[in-house]
Chains A and B, each alone.
Chain A
Amino acid sequence: MLKPSFRDLLKSSLRSILKNKSRTILTSLGIIIGVTSVILLTSIGNGLKSYVTKQFDALGANSIFISPGKIFNDNGGFSQSSMATAMTTTFTKKDLNLLDRKLKNTVVMPVNATYADVKSTYAIKKSIEIDGSTEEYGKSNNVVPSEGNGRWFTNEEDNKKTPVVVLGYKIAQTLFPKSTAIGKKVIIKGKTLKVIGVVDQKGASFGGPSVDDAVYAPFSVVSDLAGNDNINTFVVRAPNKDLINDTKKSITKIMLEKYDSDAFSVFDSSQLLTSINSIISVLTIALTGIAAISLIVGGVGIMNIMLVSVTERTREIGLRKAIGAYPRAILIQFLIEAIILSCFGGLVGVILGSLGALAINSFFPAEITISSVILAFAVSSAVGIIFGVAPARKASKLSPIEALRYE
């Protein structure tokens, strides 16, 4: 049987820690900072990942994109070269017809994007991306206005070059702050267009343009605005998820008839998602690794204080031994103290990190995961054990009479 019992040891360790409150807090500070930053960084990493995933889900799961230039390198990351090709190459109506004719059971949607100022009677928004596409694009990209918010444009309007636009939520708010935008007029490049719908709010975006900031119009209308009928991107909707890869192969074959292999890219949202997530993962791991260094520094801090504590309490150790404490009892007592210090630090760190992640989440995506909390806490306790052993061993090996004589 362990004498004293674990509970007795725990009690006496807790008592000694509580007797030195400021020392306890200062000692744990290193661990607190380490655990807090590990949790914060992993939360931000996870938040970013799920944010990106959500954004891509909104793009439509069965969508395949054909873009100019080589976007991906062979390892699945983003390609560094061919940005120039991406800027200069555009697709044409002929490509659209070719794809339409050769692909079965799919919908091919051309997208022509141009940048222009958008004016209303109330306000002006500068350099807004105006995407021209077809009726199917709305459904496929999940941007059809919900009931009461107007409608998406039709293919008939596309054919007739009817000057209509669908506005993103934020743009509509800015241009028509006082009343509904639907039925109102906007002016783009001197042309007057009628607002027929407002896309539902899709949420905050970081960096790039979001659906909330977009303006959509029929392809033919945007061609007129842009002064060309180039196609920047094709969106191809595959019949179902299982056929995505087959469809991609067919598209590549068709496109290769006309273009070099590095003049275009065929990808689906999952591919893009994988690439972006792998970048986020690497960043998260690197940043968390840096944060973890502070955990080790915290451990060294605990070892330092415990060694001082052993020296400070040499006489106490001597006395305990003189009245019957065997070496293991002293070892365990000091080890428990070190573990309590680091667990306390870990616990405070988990609380601070979680609160911090919740606070950050209001303006930047952050998501606390149980696994990161458990990991941070486990590492901090392990640090306590590892760095507590040396001082505890030193204490347990002291000879009783020398310890008692220590001044």
Chain B
Amino acid sequence: MIKSLSKNNSKVILELKNITKTYLTGTNCFTALDNVSLKIHQGEFVSITGPSGSGKSTLMHIVGLLDNPTSGEILLNGKDISKFKEHQLAQIRNVTLGFVFQQFNLLAKTSALENVLLPLLYSDVPKHQRQEMGIKMLTKVGLLDKIKNTPAQLSGGQQQRVAIARALINNPQIILADEPTGNLDSKSGSEIMNFFHQLNQKEGRTIVFVTHDMDLAKQAKRTIIIKDGKILESKNA
């Protein structure tokens, strides 16, 4: 196994230790992730790539606490959270992680602003501050004039920007994006990637994204290549 080549000295936010994920499909046992270990440092911009079926999405879901590993440890800020209860994990997803999906996953018939405010519903942020925070976030992604629009009234790129604003609203430690440009045309896609770059460079945000597109993956500071559930390579750009 190839060890992480990262020479990054900054703080480790997230660490996976010997993560294995197996699925039972009928009588067959399918190993999606095979003893994967990796570290994500503060301020990193990491891409995870590999052919389809390689396990990159499964890895992303485990990092995002949307799925449980079959075995192994997940350390968040040095704390093992693999034994956490569902409501504790929910809180981490709410406060520490910000998720961006390929399908945007905005609530239909609901305004951009309300979509952005959705995570605050499950957080401790006082009510009177919420509106202002949402408007600030939408301004940041350049959609101040669209706050009242519903997803159906927005383009794909705009929808993804609303989704990013939603991911950022609770000021998370890590932004996780699963094929964030997968449903976008190349122009909107590169806009989104530029926005991620900005977030990483100007604000020092930690960003991890999954893509099957090698060219896109190379834009990250570090690329993790995964194949057949194992990390093949982890290299810095």
**What are the residues of chain A within 8 A of B64 when measuring CB–CB?**
322
Q: Does A119 contact B (CB under 8 A)?
A: no
Contact with B along A302-337 (1 / 0, CB 8 A): 000000000000011011111111111100000000
A322 to B67, Cβ gap below 8 A? no
A401 to B122, Cβ gap below 8 A? no
**What are the residues of chain B within 8 A of A400 when measuring CB–CB?**
66-67, 93
Cβ distance A11 to chain B, nearest Cβ, rounded Å: 10
B99 to A322, Cβ gap below 8 A? yes
15 CB-based A-B contacts, threshold 8 Å: A3-B123, A8-B121, A12-B121, A315-B105, A319-B107, A320-B118, A321-B93, A322-B101, A323-B119, A324-B122, A326-B122, A329-B122, A399-B67, A400-B66, A401-B61
**What are the residues of chain A within 8 A of B86 when measuring CB–CB?**
326-327
Chain A contacts with B in 354-383, Cβ cutoff 8 A:
none
**What are the residues of chain B within 8 A of A322 when measuring CB–CB?**
64, 66, 93, 99, 101, 105
Q: Contacts A12-B121, A323-B166, A404-B105 given: A328-B66 contact, CB under 8 Å?
A: no
**9 more CB-based (< 8 A) A-B contacts, given A321-B90, A327-B87:** A8-B121, A318-B105, A320-B118, A322-B99, A322-B101, A323-B93, A324-B91, A324-B119, A404-B105
Whole-angstrom CA separation of A261 from B61 in the bound complex = 90
Centre residue among A3, A12, A324, A404 by max chain B CB count within 10 A: A324
Q: Does B109 contact A (CB under 8 A)?
A: yes
> What size tier do the contact residues of chain A reach?
20 to 34
**What are the residues of chain B within 8 A of A321 when measuring CB–CB?**
66, 90, 93
Q: Contacts A321-B90, A404-B105 given: A3-B99 contact, CB under 8 Å?
A: no
Centre residue among B90, B93, B166 by max chain A CB count within 10 A: B90
Q: Does B159 contact A (CB under 8 A)?
A: no
**What are the residues of chain B within 8 A of A329 when measuring CB–CB?**
122
Cβ distance B189 to chain A, nearest Cβ, rounded Å: 21
Whole-angstrom CA separation of A252 from B101 in the bound complex = 92
Q: Does A209 contact B (CB under 8 A)?
A: no
Q: Does A160 contact B (CB under 8 A)?
A: no
Chain B contacts with A in 78-92, Cβ cutoff 8 A:
86-87, 90-91
**What are the residues of chain B within 8 A of A19 when measuring CB–CB?**
109
Contact with A along B93-124 (1 / 0, CB 8 A): 11100010100010101000000001101111
**What are the residues of chain A within 8 A of B90 when measuring CB–CB?**
321, 324-327
Q: Does A4 contact B (CB under 8 A)?
A: yes
**What are the residues of chain B within 8 A of A326 when measuring CB–CB?**
86-87, 90-91, 122
Chain A contacts with B in 4-48, Cβ cutoff 8 A:
4, 8, 12, 19
Whole-angstrom CA separation of A316 from B106 in the bound complex = 8
Cβ distance B151 to chain A, nearest Cβ, rounded Å: 12
**What are the residues of chain A within 8 A of B95 when measuring CB–CB?**
324
**What are the residues of chain B within 8 A of A316 when measuring CB–CB?**
107
Contact with A along B133-158 (1 / 0, CB 8 A): 00000000000000000000000000
Cβ distance B86 to chain A, nearest Cβ, rounded Å: 6
Whole-angstrom CA separation of A320 from B166 in the bound complex = 12
Cβ distance A117 to chain B, nearest Cβ, rounded Å: 76
A4 to B67, Cβ gap below 8 A? no
**What are the residues of chain A within 8 A of B94 when measuring CB–CB?**
323-325
Cβ distance B73 to chain A, nearest Cβ, rounded Å: 19
Whole-angstrom CA separation of A315 from B103 in the bound complex = 11
Whole-angstrom CA separation of A326 from B105 in the bound complex = 18
B121 to A4, Cβ gap below 8 A? yes
**What are the residues of chain B within 8 A of A404 when measuring CB–CB?**
66, 101, 105
Whole-angstrom CA separation of A4 from B67 in the bound complex = 23
**What are the residues of chain A within 8 A of B61 when measuring CB–CB?**
401
A323 to B99, Cβ gap below 8 A? yes
Cβ distance A219 to chain B, nearest Cβ, rounded Å: 83
Whole-angstrom CA separation of A4 from B61 in the bound complex = 25
**What are the residues of chain B within 8 A of A324 when measuring CB–CB?**
90-91, 93-95, 119, 122-123, 170
Contact with A along B18-62 (1 / 0, CB 8 A): 000000000000000000000000000000000000000000010
Query: What are the 9 closest A-B residue pairs judged by CB atoms, nearest first?
Result: A324-B94, A326-B90, A326-B87, A401-B66, A324-B122, A4-B121, A323-B119, A319-B105, A401-B67
